[in-house]
Structure 1
Amino acid sequence: MSVLLNRLAAIFVAVGLLFTAQTLTAPQRAAAADPGYLMVHFTGEGSTNQQMYLSHSTDGLHWNDLNGGGMVLRSPIGTKGVRDPAFVRSPDGSKYWIIATDLCIDCGQTWSQSINDGSRSLVVWESTDLVTWSQPWLLNVAGAIPDGRNAWAPEAIWDPAGNDYVLYWATNVPLNGATKHRIFYARTSDFRTITTPQSYIERPGTQEIIDTQIIEMPAGVGNYRYVRASGDGQITLEGSNSILGTWTRLGDLSGIGLPGSQVEGPMWMKFNGTNKWALYLDQYATSGGYMPVLTTDPSNPAAYQKQASTSYNMGGTKKRHGWIMNLTAAEEARVLARWPNTPAKRLQSYNFQDRYVRHTNFDVRIDQNVSTSPDSQFRIRTGLAGSGTVSFESVNFPGYFLRHSNYDFQLAYNDGTSQFAADATFRQVAGLADSTWSSFQSYNFPDRYIRHYAYELRLDPITTATARGDATFRVTN
C-alpha cells in the first residue's frame, strides 16, 4: 500500500507541476471584454524601418500589426530616424509621451559615427489621448555630460519620491580610463526640460551597458519594489526598493540559455489580472526580433521559462527594441479606431492614366512613374470631419493628410483643429466623367471638387467636360 501511495503522490505532484508549467508557459487569453496591450517599436534598418510602429495583442503573446503594418509616426527632425522607443503615461492618464533614440543607421550615419559623434538628443512626442500626437521635438540630454558622445535607448518611470519622472538613457563617454556606454539619469516633469544629468549605472572595467528597463512590482511579489533588466554582456536582473537607491544584483538569464551575446533590448510586460510577466528579448544575434520569456517572479532568475516558438506570434513585421503598455478599455477603443489595417491605395488620373496623385516637398500633383513610390500611396480614412466621408492620410508621412488651403492642395500635418478636419475631408461620389470611377467633393466647399490643373491638384468648381475629366480618379492599388 505504501508503494501505491508513494506512486499516487508522485503522480499528483507531477500533474501539479505540469499544470503549473502550462499556466506559466501559456497564460490564458484575455476575455473578449478585457483590454489588451499596445507595443511601440521600430522594425529594422533604413529610413523607413527606423520610425514608430504599433502592434496590438489581446493576450500579450499573439501580436497584430496596426495601420496595415505601416509606420504611425515619422521623425522629420534630428537624424530623421528613431529607434528604441518607450511609452510614458502620466499617473492620472491625462498625458502620454513617446521618447526615442534619435538615430538613423544607413540613412546618413554609420554605427561608428553614431557611437562616437551621434545625436545627444532624444526625440519626444506628446499626446493627451494616445492617438493624436504633437509634432516631435528634440530633448538634449547628453549635451551637458562632459564629452558625452550620443544618447541611446531612453526610458522613464514615475518616481513618487520626487513627484516627477526619472528619465534614463545610455551615453558613450570616456571616464576613469574607459570609453564606453554608461547609463545616466535626469529628472523631468514635462520631457522638455531636465535636471543636470547624473551617472546612474556603470559596470566594471570596459563592460558597457546600453539597454535597461525598470518595472514596479506589486506588493507581495518578490523582495523588491522595483526590478530592472539590463543588457550588459548578459541580461542582468537587479532589485531595489527605490528607483535611485541601492540596487542588488539578482543574477542573469544565461542559466536558461539566453546570454547577452544572443539577446538584448529587454522589454517588460505584465499580464492583465494575474501576477505573471513576460520579459521580451530582441534576438539581435540571429536577426530574429523579439521573443518572450515568462515568469511569476521577475526578481528570481531561476523562475524564467523560455517559450516554444509555437506559443507566441509576433505578427507580420519584425519587432525591435520597444515598450509595451497595458491598455484601458477606452485607450484600446481609440487606438484600434485610429489605426485599423486600412490598405494603402493610389489615385489614378482619368484623363492622364499614366499619372497618379503624389506629394513632393509637401506639394500635391499628378506625376508619371510613381506607381511604386510611397509618395503616391495614401490610406483612405473615415473623414476627419464626419462619417460618410473620407480623408487621405500619407503612408510615408503618417499624420499628414491631403488638405486644401486657398483652393490649393498640400500634404499637411493634422493639427487637430476643426478647420483642418473640414479642409481634409471629402465625399466620394460617382466619377464626374465616368461613373465607374470616383470624384471627391469638398466637405466645406460642396460646390468644389478635387481636380488637377497643369498637373497640380486644386479645389475647383467643375463646369466643363475637361474639368470633369480632371476631377475623376480611380482608387487603385
Structure 2
Amino acid sequence: MDLAHHGGLRLAAFAVFAAALTAIGVTAPAALPARAATVNADYVMAYFVESPNGSGDSNTVHLAVSRDGLEWTPLHENQPILVPTAGTKGIRDPYVYRLQDGSWVLVATDILTGGDFFAANPAIHVWTSPDLVHWSSDRMLTVNAVNTQSYSWAPEVFWDADRKQYGILFSGIPNGSSVSKILVSYTSDFVTASSPQVFFDNNGQGNIIDADMITGVNGVNYLYYRGSDATLRGAKSTSLNPGSFTEYVTAPPQGQCVEAPTVVRSLTNPNTWWLWGDNYCPNNTFDVWQGDIASGNWTAVSKANYTAPLGSKHNTIQPITSTEYNALISTYGTTSTMRLKSWDYPGRYVRHQNGVGRIDPLPFDPQADSQWKVVPGLADSTDVSFESVNYPGSYLRHSNFDLVLNVDDNSAQFAADATFKKVPGLANSAWSSFQSYNYPGRYIRHYNYVLELQPIATALDQADATFHVAP
C-alpha cells in the first residue's frame, strides 16, 4: 500500500499520545522534524524484488538501511514501501535522490509485472517526499515525448548547476536509431520535462543502458553504465554537457552478464568507493567491487563482507542522516526474519529443501526457504531455535546427526534436538557458530553442502561451522 496515508496516521496517533501524556503531567518526546540534520552518517537503498521463477517478484519500491553501506537491513519485513498506482501499475529500477532543498524524489521504470519488458513506455514513475517517510501519490512524468515507441528504462537524477535544472538520465532509443543509448531530459519540478537528447553513446557504441552519475568529485563527473558487451564501464568529464563524456574504464574484473551499476562513496573514508552491479547470469545476485573512482581500479569484494536484501535487484544507494535513518526504522520497522550465510562459501545460505537442511547459492525458489525466525530455544530460552518462515511450526533439528526440518511435536526430545547455543564463530569470532543443546561437543556444520551435527577438530571443520546471521 502507499504509506503516505500510513505516515499520516502515525502522526495523528502521536498527537493523541502527546496530549494524553500532557494531561498527566508528562512531557512527550518531540515529533520527528520535517527536515533532518545535514550530516550524512548512514545509507538508504531502494530496490525491487525478483526471484528465478517469478514467484518472489515484486515490481514495487522496497527500502533498506545500512550503517556501513555493505550490510543491509530491509525495512517493513522486506515488503513494499510504495506500490505504483499510475501507468502500468508496476515498476523496476527505483532511484532515490536528495534534491537541492533537502527533500527527496524517487523515480522508476514503468513496467507491469509479467508484462512486455520492451513495450513502449515514454513516461516514468515519480514520488516525492520531504523526509523519506511521507510520500506523495504516484504520478507519471513523460521523459521521451519525441519517440513514444521507445522504452524509458532505469531513470536516474543529477543536479546540473549551470542549467539550474535536474537532469534525468534514462536508457532509450532515439529517433532514427535502432539501439539503446543514454538519453537525458531536464526538469525543474518533476512535473514536466524537456524533450530528450542523447547524453552518451560512446562514439556510436550500441545498446548502452543503466547510467549512474557521480558529480563533482574533485572537479570531475563520472558516468558508469552497462556497455554493449554486458560489462560495467566508466566514463568521465569535467562538464555535465551531453556528449562530453569519454570512456576511461573498460570494465572492472567481472563476468559478462553485469548491469545496473551503483557507485557509492564511503562516509568514513572518502578515498574508498564501492561499485555495485547486478550479475544476472548465472547468479542473478549483486557483485560488489571496491576501489578508487579517479583511477578506475576496482577489486572484487568477497560476499562475506556484504549482504544485500533478499531478492533485491537494480538498487540505488544514497547517504542519509542519522535522523532519517532512525525515522525510517521508526516508521516502517525492520524485519523479524534472519538468514545464515556460510563463512567459507559466502554466496551460500542455510535453507531447507525437501525437509533437508543444506547451504545453497542464491538465487533459488522459494526464497523463503532461507528465511528463519530465530526464537528462544525450545529446550532452553537462553539458547536459540530456528523456525521456518514458510513452514511455521517447523524447526531445524538434528536427527541421527543430520539437520532436517520437522514439525514440532511438543516432545522434550524434539525441543532438545532443535535447540542450539549461539557462540562466537569458530573461524571468525565476529560471526556465529551453533552448539548442540543435547550434544554439546557437536556443532552445526556443512559437509558437501548438507548440514550435519558434528564434532569440530580441524580448521576446515571450524570454517564449515561458522555462519553470519543477517536479515
Query: What is the TM-score of this pair, normalised by structure 1?
Result: 0.58
**CA distance in 1: counterparts of 2:154 and 2:317, whole angstroms:** 15
Partner of 2:323: 330
Partner of 2:44: 38
Pairwise CA distance, 1:173: 4.2
Q: 1:338 is paired with a residue of what secondary structure?
A: helix
Partner of 1:283: 279
**CA distance in 1: counterparts of 2:317 and 2:148, whole angstroms:** 33
**CA distance in 1: counterparts of 2:143 and 2:213, whole angstroms:** 19
Partner of 2:156: 155
Correspondence 1:464-475 to 2 at 5 A:
none
One-letter amino acid matched to 1:328: T
Q: 1:149 is paired with a residue of what secondary structure?
A: coil
One-letter amino acid matched to 2:87: G
Is residue 72 of structure 1 aligned with residue 90 of structure 2? no
Correspondence 1:196-207 to 2 at 5 A:
196-203=195-202, 207=206
Tell which structure's C-alpha radius of gyration is larger.
1
Q: 1:124 aligns with which of 123, 126, 149?
A: 126
Q: 2:178 is paired with a residue of what secondary structure?
A: strand
Partner of 2:138: 136
**CA distance in 1: counterparts of 2:112 and 2:205, whole angstroms:** 26
**CA distance in 1: counterparts of 2:224 and 2:68, whole angstroms:** 22
Q: 2:173 is paired with a residue of what secondary structure?
A: strand
Partner of 2:224: 229
Partner of 2:64: 55
**CA distance in 1: counterparts of 2:206 and 2:136, whole angstroms:** 38
One-letter amino acid matched to 2:209: I
Is residue 96 of structure 1 aligned with residue 91 of structure 2? no
Pairwise CA distance, 1:163: 1.5
1:233-277 Cα offsets, whole Å, 9 max, x none, are 2311111111115112102225x2x14x22100011111132211
One-letter amino acid matched to 1:292: V
Pairwise CA distance, 1:217: 4.3
**CA distance in 2: counterparts of 1:119 and 1:146, whole angstroms:** 10
Q: 1:191 is paired with a residue of what secondary structure?
A: coil
Partner of 2:301: 307
Aligned-residue CA RMSD (Å): 2.2
**CA distance in 1: counterparts of 2:148 and 2:75, whole angstroms:** 40
Pairwise CA distance, 1:167: 1.0
Query: Per the alignment, do residues 85 and 339 of structure 1 end up closer, same or farther by CA in structure 2, a change over 3 Å counting?
Result: same
Unaligned runs of 5+ in 1: 1-32, 345-477
1:2-43 Cα offsets, whole Å, 9 max, x none, are xxxxxxxxxxxxxxxxxxxxxxxxxxxxxxx98311000001
**CA distance in 2: counterparts of 1:156 and 1:140, whole angstroms:** 14
One-letter amino acid matched to 1:310: A
Whether contact under 8 Å (2:105, 2:126) holds in the other structure is yes
Q: 2:77 is paired with a residue of what secondary structure?
A: helix
**CA distance in 1: counterparts of 2:207 and 2:306, whole angstroms:** 31
Whether contact under 8 Å (2:157, 2:168) holds in the other structure is yes
1:299-326 Cα offsets, whole Å, 9 max, x none, are 323x2110112111113x1221121110
Partner of 2:4: none
Pairwise CA distance, 1:343: 6.4
Pairwise CA distance, 1:48: 5.2
Whether contact under 8 Å (1:37, 1:59) holds in the other structure is yes
Query: Per the alignment, do residues 339 and 134 of structure 1 end up closer, same or farther by CA in structure 2, a change over 3 Å counting?
Result: same
**CA distance in 1: counterparts of 2:185 and 2:153, whole angstroms:** 14
One-letter amino acid matched to 1:312: Y
Correspondence 1:20-419 to 2 at 5 A:
35-44=41-50, 49-93=58-102, 95-106=103-114, 109-111=115-117, 115=118, 117-142=119-144, 144-146=145-147, 148-173=149-174, 175=176, 178-203=177-202, 207-219=206-218, 225-232=220-227, 233=229, 234-244=231-241, 246-254=244-252, 256=253, 258-259=254-255, 261-275=256-270, 276-295=272-291, 297-301=292-296, 303-315=297-309, 317-341=310-334
**CA distance in 1: counterparts of 2:62 and 2:320, whole angstroms:** 16
Query: Per the alignment, do residues 155 and 135 of structure 1 end up closer, same or farther by CA in structure 2, a change over 3 Å counting?
Result: same
**CA distance in 1: counterparts of 2:132 and 2:276, whole angstroms:** 23
Higher helix share goes to which structure?
A: 1
**CA distance in 1: counterparts of 2:205 and 2:267, whole angstroms:** 40
Moved over 4 A (4+): 45-48, 203-206
Equivalent residues, number: 292
Q: 1:327 is paired with a residue of what secondary structure?
A: strand
Q: Bigger shift: 50-59 or 244-253? A: 244-253
Query: What is the TM-score of this pair, normalised by structure 2?
Result: 0.59
